[in-house]
Structure 1
């Protein structure tokens, strides 16, 4: 889906750390993961509806 190099991922992590701070970073990661998981489930359920 996305193709990031290690340097780009490190830069994104540093920016997120500066913006959100070290205390909020785990919460932000958890919320982001939950959102991605819900999006994937919605996409897969839509494709199942179209096939069935």
Structure 2
């Protein structure tokens, strides 16, 4: 994903983010993005686990 952007592109993106949000809000922004990604990952894991349980239940019902 970042291979096509390159180092100069990343620097430009970081400078724009710094200008938009300011240095005092960057840690809060990073923390909230990290928490959002963690919640999304946990939610998708729960959904995948539920799908596996449902498939196992269907398989046991078909075998009976």
Q: TM-score, length-normalised on structure 1?
A: 0.83
User: How far did residue 15 of structure 1 move?
Assistant: 1.3
What is the total number of aligned residue pairs between the two structures?
50
Higher RCO structure, 1 or 2 (CA under 8 Å, sep 6+): 1
Gaps of 5+ in 1: none
Residue correspondence of structure 1 range 35-46 to structure 2 within 5 A: 35-46=36-47
Greater helix percent: which structure? 1
Gaps of 5+ in 2: 54-64
Q: TM-score, length-normalised on structure 2?
A: 0.69
